[in-house]
Amino acid sequence: MTTKKERIFYITLGILVILTLVFGALYEEGIIFPKKTEETVQVTKQTTVQTAEQVKTLSYQGQDGKTALELLESAATIEKSGEGENAYITSINGVAADSTKEYWAFSIDGEASMVGAGSYVTKSSDVIKWDLTTF
């Protein structure tokens, strides 16, 4: 015959074993502590030469949750004035826009963007393209 203390001990031990199994399974599935994953950004760079003046075009695939500016900064060497939503791109890969007649413009799936690169949050289905544009 077991005493009351022994029964409490065995019940407590059983509960601890069950909790260990449950939390172990949750940990393995990454539910308790999600496993880290690495992100990959795929970038395509294109260069076109026209009438002895080199016009650079840069395009890349969007990535869910990243701004067009964040992806541009990882894809190219840029110069900009301002930060974040107020960033204005002045140079991409060493090609500076002549501020009296040019600017770097970007489009999303062939449509001109209506917001700045720091404001536009891309989707993985987006194709972002930068062109040196004359006004």
Mean pLDDT of all residues belonging to the chain:
84
Task: State pTM to two decimals.
Answer: 0.60
Residue spans of beta strands (DSSP E) within 1-135: 43-50, 53-61, 78-81, 88-92, 95-96, 102-108, 111-112, 127-134
18 and 48, same domain (yes or no): no
Let me know if 59 is exposed, middle or buried by CB neighbors in 10 A (0-12, 13-18, 19+): middle
23 and 61, same domain (yes or no): no
Q: pLDDT for 1-55, tens place per residue? A: 678 888 899 899 999 999 888 888 877 777 766 666 665 556 555 544 443 345 5
pLDDT at 135: 86
6 and 24, same domain (yes or no): yes
Tell me the residue range of the domain where 76 lies.
Answer: 43-134
pLDDT at 87: 93
Share of the chain above pLDDT 70, in %: 81
84 and 119, same domain (yes or no): yes
Query: How many domains in the chain?
Result: 2
- Mean pLDDT, residues 89-114: 93
User: CA-to-CA distance for 122 and 7, rounded, in angstroms?
Assistant: 60
